[in-house]
Amino acid sequence: MGVHEAYHLHPINRVIHWICIPIELAAVVKLLALVPSRVDLGFVAVVLVGILYGLADTVAGACMTLLLLVLHTIVVPLTTGWAVLDAVFAATVFIAAFAIQTRVGHGIFERGIDDTEMNLAEFARTKNPIPLLLVFAYHGLELLFAAGYRPAINARVQEHRRGELDRIPNDPRR
């Protein structure tokens, strides 16, 4: 998380992430729920990711799981009546939110510093989805830290963030 934090220093970029991540998660849940199956794959994904988040941190995991359940409850019933159109709309919403994060949040406010490629490269190299899935929870945990949650762990995250800042090549934010 400290490495991730080093790429999210500007307060406006953080706000953009706090807004866009729930939108992206809602779009993914909707897309999964649209897959023809005997079970709601959106709900299955919420349960599985909720378990992962809970194992990482009980309180933060419970908060993220609750957020995912609320998003599921909101987006699954929303429909045009045509699954293909619903899927196109959900994918478009995801792409738009992601573009705002990367192009505006990182491109403008972080002056081009972005960890997305690094995260995707790590996933491609390791085939381990867990670090990639945890990225979404980091921003929620950041809000909990700001409220005073687990100060010792927050201090360790900030220590790692400072160390990572020294390793970012050509960082124009300094």
Segment-wise mean pLDDT, segments of 10 residues, the chain, 174 residues: 95 97 98 98 98 97 98 97 98 98 97 94 96 94 96 97 91 85
Give the pLDDT confidence score for residue 170 in this predicted structure: 83
Give the pLDDT confidence score for residue 42 in this predicted structure: 98
Tell which residue, 71, 47, 72, has the closest CA to residue 61.
47
Q: Is the dihedral of CA 17, 9, 146, 50 positive or negative?
A: positive
CB atoms within 10 A of CB 164: 16
Q: Residues 133, 46: contact at Cβ < 8 Å?
A: no
